[in-house]
Structure 1
Amino acid sequence: MGILQDKNILVAGVTLDTSLGFATAKIAQAEGANVIISNFGRAMSLTRRVIKKLDPVPPLLELDVSNEDHLAGLADALREHTDRIDGVVHSIAFANPETALGGGFLTTPWPDVATAVQVSAYSLTSLTMACKPLFGETAAVVGFDFDATVAWPVYDWMGVSKAALESTCRYLARYLGPEGVRVNLVAAGPLDTLAKRAIPGSEEFNEVWAARAPLGWDTKDLEPAARAAVALLSDWFPKTTGEIIHVDGGVQMTGA
């Protein structure tokens, strides 16, 4: 039996098989979970092809976390496949690469900042609350983070959004803990995902990790971060909430 045996897990935000969401879904299935996937818009066609690599092929729901109608209908959409959700994986982030990333921090217009914060941070709350009617006595929510304690080159408003995500995680953990809901984040090092490729100049991150990671770092290996997410979804961390688990080869604890 796997550590997620018979648990029902929603993985929100899977586009390609190079995404952390996909890697998490694959390991969750191997650990016995029943997985449901979500995405939205034109990316749905990509997701539909990619999830055929999973066994069994999971149900695919359309969910835009900035769409109030999608959020309002999520519980009913989930009920078509399960009567209970034990875990939620938040693998969602977006910032306009032309204005909010790449060094133009000082001139980014507010609408683009608002979109970045809504999709990348506020959605942890909106997604969790949309799923909450299907939570049982306990549930686990796990999101993916990138260390927001410092200012990174070119990361700009996504860095601000990740800081907001970290704070959102703590407040969700505080308010939902009495209802048996754990909320945690996995702060991964730079990985060659679609999201990273959209950041102008993101190769600078690879240079930092190559020089500073005591355990070494492979930008193509999604498994360590995905395994951490699966562990946090399991019952092996029953009293851990509001935490940020760093899976970055040790860079977060090193000096210059």
Structure 2
Amino acid sequence: MGILDGKRILVAGVTMDTSIGFATAKIAQEQGATVLISNFGRALGITKRIAKRLPVEPPVLELDVTDPEHLERLPDLVREHVDGLDGVVHSIAYGNPETLLGGKFLTGPWEDVSQAVQVSAYSLASLTNACRPLMSEGGSVVGMTFDATVAWPAYDWMGVAKAGLESTSRYLAKNLGSEGIRVNLVSAGPLKTLAAKAIPGFEDLEELWQNRAPLGWDNTDQIPTAKAVVALLSDFFPATSGEIVHVDGGFHATGA
């Protein structure tokens, strides 16, 4: 018997089988959940192919979280497969690596910054609102962050976007508590995902973890992070909301 038996979970933002979203979908299925995944545009075809690598091939929904029409139709798309949702995973972020990352903080143009904030932070609120008609008391929303309490090498405007995401999660937790919906984030250490490969200078972050994480850190292993997401989706954290759970080998707790 799994900790997600009978639960219906949407994992938004699954592209490659090396992603946190994919690992989360896999473990959620292994723990008894019925899982739906989503993507959009050119990546949608990739998502449909890698969906076949999960233990049970899930429905793949087309969802662009910046498109109001996609958000409006989402409940109907979900209801074609399940009658509601018990959990939503926000595994979505984007910042133009050519203009916003890798030491380009002082020159990042507003057009690209605003896109990064919308996709990476505001979309947690827009996705959650779109899913509210499908969720009842006990529901859980979990998003992915990278510690935004400090300035990191190379991360630049994505760090600002993640700070916005973290604040958004707290306000969602405050406003949805009366509906019995929990909202939390998981802050993972650097992982070799598709998004990470697009960050110029990402290897500088990886080196920090290799030297300082008390438990060590395997940047190719998404499973510990995915397990934390699944735990927050379960009923094992019934009174936890507005929290950021660190899955980083203990790095966040160490000094220089």
- TM > 0.5 fold call: yes
CA distance in 2, matches of 1:201, 1:220: 17
Q: In structure 1, what is the Cα distance between the partners aligned to 2:137 and 2:178?
A: 10
Question: What corresponds to 1:38 in structure 2?
Answer: 38
Q: Residue type matched to 2:245 in 1?
A: I
SS in 2 for 1:150: coil
- How far did residue 137 of structure 1 move? 2.1
Report the equivalent of 2:66.
66
Between Structure 1 and Structure 2, how many residues are aligned?
A: 256
Cα root mean square deviation, aligned: 0.5
Q: Which amino acid aligns with 2:228?
A: A
Once residues 121 and 78 of structure 2 are traced to their aligned partners in structure 1, the CA distance between those partners, rounded to angstroms, is 22
User: 2:238: which partner in 1?
Assistant: 238
1:106-161, Cα deviation, whole Å (9 max, x unpaired) = 11110100000000000000000001101022200000110000000110110000
Provide structure 2 residue ranges, at least 5 long, that are not aligned to the other structure.
none
Indicate yes or no: 2:12 matched with 1:3.
no
8 Å Cα contact 2:7/2:33 also seen in 1: yes
Paired position in structure 1 for 2:204: 204
Q: Which residue of 2 is the match for residue 255 of structure 1?
A: 255
Task: Name the counterpart of 1:138.
Answer: 138
Q: CA deviation at 1:55?
A: 2.1
**What SS does structure 1 have at the residue aligned with 2:137?**
coil
SS of the residue 1:86 aligns to = strand
Q: Which aligned runs of 4 or more in structure 1 are off by greater than 2 angstroms?
A: none
Tell me which amino acid in the other structure corresponds to 2:183: V
Secondary structure of the structure 2 residue equivalent to 1:38: strand
* Secondary structure of residue in 2 paired with 1:37: strand
Q: Percent identity?
A: 68
Q: Which residue is equivalent to 1:95?
A: 95
| CA shift for structure 1 position 102 | 0.9
Partner Cα separation in structure 2 for residue 216 and residue 55 of structure 1: 29
- Normalised to the residue count of structure 1, the TM-score between the two structures is 0.99
Q: 2:156 & 2:72 partners in 1: Cα distance?
A: 31
What aligned pairs does 1:134-173 form with structure 2 within 5 A after superposition?
134-173=134-173
Structure 1 alignment gaps of length 5 or more: none
TM-score w.r.t. length of structure 2: 0.99
SS in 2 for 1:35: strand
Name the residue aligned to 2:113.
113
Q: Any idea what SS the aligned residue of 2:136 has?
A: coil
Q: Secondary structure at the match of 1:153?
A: coil
Q: Distance in 2 between matches of 1:121 and 1:52?
A: 29
The superposition leaves residues 221-249 of structure 1 with CA deviations (integer Å, 9 ceiling, x where unpaired) of 10000000000000000000000000000
